Amino acid sequence: MGGDEVSRLATGPSGAPEPTPEQREAAASPVISALQARRSILPPQSAYSTVSNAVLAANSRTAEAELRAARLRAAAASKNWLPRIGPSISLTSLSDVVANLVLEQVLFGHGRLKAERAFAKADVEVAAVALADDTNERVLTALTLYLGAAEARERRALDSRTLKDMSHFEWIMRQRVEGGVSDRSDLSILAQKLGEIRLSLTSAEEAERTALAELNAMAATPLDDVSGLRDLTGPMPEAEPLSVLRAMAEEDRSVAEARTERAGLLPGLTASGTVGSDNDGGVNLGGGLLGLGTGDSLRAIEMQKDAAARKTRQAEEDAARTLRRLEQEIIALERQVGEAAALAAQARANLDLFQEQYDSGQRQVMDVVGVYETFAAREQSALSRKYELARARLKSARLLGLLADGSRI
């Protein structure tokens, strides 16, 4: 029998599970529903996902506290149509104190109570979008730092190999100079090139340490051992940009605020009663006082609604422009990544050819050094394009709020 009781309490009239407060809130709000429907595009079990989970676990979530406060205000506003009761104490003379209990009920207020409820609901939506935006921004910051560390790590590996190969060329040139075969100026040029490579190698090491130190400061667990680059291929899922959702919620809030202000300018009807020393009751007509400027004030409130709608349209235009720019940037970088890889392969083939010609005595050492520098530069360029593409895709996902699951936020 106890099981039947639990079943009746846990299901609705049709036998379906009773919706949770979060589900009811999402059903009543298209903005919150759109936020909860978002899914992260970060591949599971990847370095991206590991970094995201670590930094979100250490998130102080200030915006979450603001969302909770907004929800409490909305819960309070949802009951504003009920009568209000409170004590009234007055001193009628030096010896008499009159204590009453006042009961008040708004009968007609030009939609003021409804507008207050709409304002509180829109305030929750604004806070929810702010939380999603804050979370996605935190993930983007962490992943940008991770990409910086990963790029510096790969650049350091390339510089280490280049330093090793150039040191070999420098050793050959030193032997030739000591044997009187080559000029000492070539050895000086190689020594300068080695100094530049060592400087680049040191800079890469410092950039890697700095990015990892900042990333670890954001994360709940150390991320020094995380490595790998999983590209976000394919088109982005269809989703409304977070900036547009924020503008929509702020528009609803501004409209509700304008309606509240409009109701405050017009007279309303209130029923009140007093219980205590002086039993009394009645219906009061009160509210805003009408004046010569009331018409202009009402028109100004209507303009506030128009301004809020215009801000939403402007946010939609700005978001569309940013998305189109990022899409074209991604397309261009995808092409550049392919071209840079092809140029690096071609430079490698030229280097192999010059090396064979040098071994057969057809080329000088400095000829091979020049071709090797071209090959190293092409590899560095291909590396830069690869990480620029990864950053561009992350920026596009952040704009759409796709760096974290909405249900988890």
- Predicted pLDDT of residue 25: 57
Higher-scoring residue by pLDDT: 304, 96: 304
- First and final CA of the chain: distance in angstroms? 38
- Predicted pLDDT of residue 8: 36
103 pLDDT above the threshold of 50: yes
1 pLDDT above the threshold of 50: no
DSSP 8-state assignment for residue 237: P
Higher-scoring residue by pLDDT: 232, 176: 176
- Predicted pLDDT of residue 162: 94
Residues 345-369: pLDDT tens digits?
999 999 999 999 888 888 888 899 9
Higher-scoring residue by pLDDT: 135, 16: 135
Under the banding of pLDDT at 50, 70 and 90, the label for residue 63 is confident
Under the banding of pLDDT at 50, 70 and 90, the label for residue 4 is very low
- Predicted pLDDT of residue 247: 92
Task: Name which of 42-51, 64-73, 169-178, 326-335 the model is least confident about.
Answer: 64-73
232 pLDDT above the threshold of 80: no
Q: What is the mean pLDDT of the chain?
A: 82
Higher-scoring residue by pLDDT: 93, 100: 100
Report the pLDDT averaged over residues 277-282: 55
Residue partners of 149: CB distance under 8 A and separation at least 6: 207, 208, 211, 212, 215
Closest CA to 24 of 15, 13, 36: 36
Task: Name which of 82-96, 139-153, 211-225, 280-294 the model is least confident about.
Answer: 280-294
- Predicted pLDDT of residue 5: 39
- Predicted pLDDT of residue 81: 63
Coil, strand, or helix at residue 46?
A: coil
Higher-scoring residue by pLDDT: 73, 225: 225
Contact call for residues 87 and 81 (beta carbons, < 8 A): no
DSSP 8-state assignment for residue 282: E
Phi-psi region of 45 (alpha: psi -120 to 50; beta: other; left: phi over 0): left
Residues 190-226: pLDDT tens digits?
999 999 999 999 999 999 999 999 999 999 899 999 8
- Predicted pLDDT of residue 34: 86
Contact call for residues 238 and 34 (beta carbons, < 8 A): no
Q: Percent of the chain, pLDDT > 90?
A: 44
Under the banding of pLDDT at 50, 70 and 90, the label for residue 157 is very high
Q: Percent of the chain, pLDDT > 70?
A: 77
- Predicted pLDDT of residue 408: 81
Residues 280-333: pLDDT tens digits?
555 554 555 555 656 666 777 778 888 888 999 999 999 999 999 999 999 999
* Residue-by-residue DSSP string for 78-116: TTTTS-EEEEEEEE-SSS-EEEEEEEEEEEE-TTHHHHH
- Predicted pLDDT of residue 22: 58
- Predicted pLDDT of residue 306: 85
pTM, entire model: 0.82
- Predicted pLDDT of residue 370: 92
Contact call for residues 129 and 242 (beta carbons, < 8 A): yes
